[in-house]
């Protein structure tokens, strides 16, 4: 049995979220604790714990393509945006279902903290 988690619950609709885009394989929704004026999360609907656990490289094309296309549709190409994946506790991952943060609407520092 595949492990179920918070974002599996959002993907299935059991846990409410502000959905921005979805298709059969991916979902984009608003982060509940936004760190920028635009802060969205793109996830595969299938449970994958982290970037280290991706088995099918085609998932990257689908997930990152979805994040970039969402940014494009929101008109963010010119002002810019940041895509972030935290892998593992030490990198700041708190929800162990792979997700891409899409953040925009302010300036971002480099290197990140
Ligand atoms: P990370 O720390 O990279 O694992 O990111 C997890 C993100 O999930 C954080 O930015 C949280 O604010 C966000 N988050 C946690 N619970 C929810 C929820 N129920 N709906 C939307 N976003 C959430
Ligand atoms: Zn999950």
C-beta of residue 61 within 8 angstroms of C-beta of residue 97: no
The 10s digit of each residue's pLDDT in 58-98 is: 999 999 999 999 999 999 999 999 999 999 999 999 999 99
Distance 58 CA to ligand 1 centre (A): 24
Which residues have any ligand 1 atom within 6 Å of their CB? 6, 17, 31-33, 41, 86, 92-95
What is the reported pLDDT for 106?
98
Each domain of the chain, given as residue ranges in start order, spans 6-104
30 has which bridge partners?
Answer: 40
Domain at 6-104: CATH code: 3.30.428.10
99 flagged as catalytic: yes
> How much of the chain exceeds pLDDT 70, in percent?
97
DSSP of 31-67? -SS-SSSEEEEEEESS---SGGG---THHHHHHHHHH
**pLDDT for residue 105 is more than 90:** yes
Distance 73 CA to ligand 1 centre (A): 22
Selecting among 47, 72, 97, 99, the annotated active-site residue is 99
Whole-number Å distance between alpha carbons of 2 and 47: 7
Whole-number Å distance between alpha carbons of 22 and 19: 7
What is the reported pLDDT for 1?
43
């Amino acid at each position: 049995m595949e492990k179920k988690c918070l974002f599996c619950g959002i993907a299935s609709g059991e846990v409410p979220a502000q959905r921005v885009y979805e298709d059969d394989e991916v979902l984009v929704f608003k982060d509940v604790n936004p760190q920028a004026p635009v802060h969205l999360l793109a996830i595969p609907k299938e449970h994958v714990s982290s970037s280290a656990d991706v088995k099918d490289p085609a998932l990257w094309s689908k997930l990152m393509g979805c994040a970039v296309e969402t940014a494009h549709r929101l008109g963010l190409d010119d002002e810019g945006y940041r895509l972030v994946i935290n892998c593992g506790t030490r990198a700041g991952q708190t929800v162990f279902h792979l997700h891409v943060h899409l953040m925009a609407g302010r300036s971002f520092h480099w290197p990140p903290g």
